[in-house]
């Protein structure tokens, strides 16, 4: 029984005292904005998490106005239907819609004039300007350039307005393109102004990895090769690539999921304790891990990676395709702490269930005086049914000594009364507040691409077979055989 239920996990904006802010979303009519960003912002409005003086400038290519844009978003999102009308009205009063071409200087000059209309330097009211790049990635560089060239970053200088940009994924397509984008952005903005998003960082359960590891003294002494046999990170999805198949076909599971979400989770799980909870310290520690992921070679690609594709994908992608919709791989973190510990990473679409889990498999006792001392397993269920589980051996009541492996569960739903904040809400709030701790630094992005390049840019990668699997299964049979040959099995079943 868990005592002290928390009634409300939200901290209203008036407590936070957030400055006047205009958030501009480029790509506002795209799926990301309509399905994730606007619902998150409305939810924040409902919980009074937005600054009192807040404007939202939605920029899209469609010919709409604030009213027709809002109707379009509300119609598209089932979540928004549940938001009370009074909240929608309040939110609507903050909304601006601006039609623009993302590669047109004239569009940006017009936007600059529009945003300036809201500033009142004489009465000390200048808005912080935040720009969210939610367009297709081909526009990122141009938007960054034009924001500067068309004067959207300046003005109100004496009021020290803050300007920040948030860049959606995919951040690059490989190391070279990620480097080029970083260098272009860094020509126009300082690192402190650039927020590279990985929405997994916004998930409560991902943030909890650090807390469980470093706030409980029982784990850290065991968190190494001497006590941990292996680790599994599995992110399984039931959805197909269908609606995004054309984009996805250029991407595949490794770029879409492993390069970012999976490697970020892996770095949080394996890094050393940051000296302090600052963005600099946390990101330094994560990057130390990302830098020493053992690169794949032609040889290790043959034995350490399985690609899969679900039946029917090629048709969705518009023809023949070798893009992987499933991947399983064995990675190693080349530090003394983790020498020899395999990290089995797995993700895929059109699988039998949606679940994201990290499981840390401890070694069995060196000597077991009972029959079957099963290995302890610590599982972080990232989603759904957010929870942490620990498998421990117990005695089965009775006259003999038989062991039972029991599951000690900490479930969020039972422990906390209010709903868990969504990842985008958390990250948008951090963006508004100027907190970079959950965002990815340029060197982290480059280190993870360097590792991913050792896979995708390796000529052997094209030759590795793509195993076809039926939708609604656990993926290709080869992925089962892959881990079984190491005398282990997938824990997330």
User: Has 230 been annotated as catalytic?
Assistant: no
What stretches of 271-322 show up as alpha helix (H) in DSSP? 279-291, 298-304, 313-316
Contact set with ligand BG6 (CB under 6 A): 169, 237, 256
Task: Spot the catalytic one: 43, 261, 361, 467.
Answer: 261
Nearer to ligand BG6, 204 or 285 (CB): 204
Q: Buried (b) or exposed (e) across 13-22, using 16+ Cβ within 10 A?
A: beeeebbbbb
The phi, psi pair for 272, rounded to 5°, reads: -75, 165
Closer to ligand BG6 by CB, 169 or 450: give it: 169
Give the pair of three-digit tokens for residue 304.
Answer: 């350490």
Please state the φ and ψ torsions of residue 251, each to the nearest 5 degrees: -110, -70
Written as six digits, the tokens of 365 are: 């006792």
Strand intervals (E) in 181-237: 194-196, 228-236
Position of minimal CB gap to ligand BG6: 256
Q: Which is nearer to ligand BG6, 94 or 169 (CB)?
A: 169
Distance from C-alpha of 111 to C-alpha of 155, rounded to nearest angstrom: 14
Cβ closest to ligand BG6, residue 338 vs residue 424: 424
Residue 9: name the closest of 413, 387, 437, 428 by CA.
Answer: 413
Least distance between ligand BG6 and beta carbon 395 (Å): 39
Task: Return the H-helix or E-strand segment holding 176.
Answer: helix 175-188
Please state the closest distance from residue 169 (CB atom) to ligand BG6, in A.
6
Cβ 162 vs Cβ 131: under 8 Å: no
Other residues' Cβ atoms within 10 Å of the Cβ of residue 191: 14
| Ramachandran angles phi, psi of 231, nearest 5° | -130, 140
The count of other CB atoms within 10 Å of the CB of residue 487 is: 6
237 or 386, CB closer to ligand BG6? 237
Contact 167, 197 (CB under 8 A): yes
Closer residue to ligand BG6, CB minimum distance, 251 or 391? 251
Known catalytic residues? 261
């Amino acid at each position: 029984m868990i005592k002290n239920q928390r009634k409300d996990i939200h901290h209203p904006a008036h407590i936070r005292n957030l400055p006047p802010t205009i958030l501009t979303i480029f790509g506002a009519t795209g799926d990301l904005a309509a399905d994730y960003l606007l619902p998150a912002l409305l939810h924040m409005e409902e919980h009074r998490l937005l600054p009192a003086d807040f404007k939202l400038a939605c920029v899209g290519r469609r010919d709409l106005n604030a009213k027709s844009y809002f109707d379009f978003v509300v119609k598209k999102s089932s979540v928004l239907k549940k938001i009370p009308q009074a909240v929608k009205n309040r939110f609507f009063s903050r909304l601006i819609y601006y039609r623009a071409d993302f590669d047109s200087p004239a569009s940006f000059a017009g936007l600059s004039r529009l945003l300036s209309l809201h500033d009142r330097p004489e009465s000390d009211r200048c808005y912080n300007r935040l720009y969210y790049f939610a367009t297709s990635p081909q526009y990122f560089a141009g938007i960054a350039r034009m924001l500067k060239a068309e004067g959207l970053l300046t003005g109100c200088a004496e009021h020290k307005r803050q300007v920040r940009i948030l860049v959606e994924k995919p951040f690059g397509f490989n190391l070279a393109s990620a480097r080029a984008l970083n260098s272009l952005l860094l020509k126009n903005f300082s690192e402190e102004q650039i927020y590279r998003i990985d929405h997994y960082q916004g998930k409560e359960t991902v943030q909890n990895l650090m807390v469980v590891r470093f706030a409980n003294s029982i784990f850290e002494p065991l968190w190494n090769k001497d006590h941990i046999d292996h680790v599994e990170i599995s992110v399984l999805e039931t959805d197909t690539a269908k609606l995004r198949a054309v984009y996805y076909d250029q991407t595949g599971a490794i770029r879409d999921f492993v390069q970012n979400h999976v490697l970020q989770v892996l770095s949080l799980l394996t890094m050393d304790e940051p000296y302090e909870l600052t963005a600099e310290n946390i990101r330094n520690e994560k990057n130390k891990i990302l830098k020493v992921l053992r690169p794949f070679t032609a040889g290790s690609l043959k034995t350490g990676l399985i690609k899969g594709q679900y039946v029917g994908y090629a048709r969705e992608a518009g023809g023949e395709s070798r893009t992987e919709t499933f991947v399983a791989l064995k990675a190693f973190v080349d530090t003394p702490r983790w020498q020899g510990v395999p990290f089995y990473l797995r993700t895929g679409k059109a699988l039998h269930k949606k679940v994201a889990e990290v499981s840390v498999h401890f070694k069995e006792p060196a000597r077991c005086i009972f029959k079957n001392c099963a290995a302890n397993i610590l599982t972080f269920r990232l989603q759904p049914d957010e929870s942490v589980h620990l498998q421990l051996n117990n005695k089965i009541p009775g006259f003999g000594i038989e062991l039972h492996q029991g599951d000690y569960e900490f479930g969020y739903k039972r422990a906390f009364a209010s709903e868990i904040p969504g990842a985008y809400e958390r990250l948008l709030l951090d963006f508004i507040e100027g907190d970079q701790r959950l965002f990815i630094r340029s060197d982290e992005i480059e280190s993870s691409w360097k590792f991913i390049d050792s896979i995708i840019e390796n000529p052997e990668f094209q030759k590795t077979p793509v195993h076809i699997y039926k939708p609604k299964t656990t993926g290709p049979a080869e992925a089962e055989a892959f881990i079984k040959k190491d005398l282990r099995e997938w824990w997330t079943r």
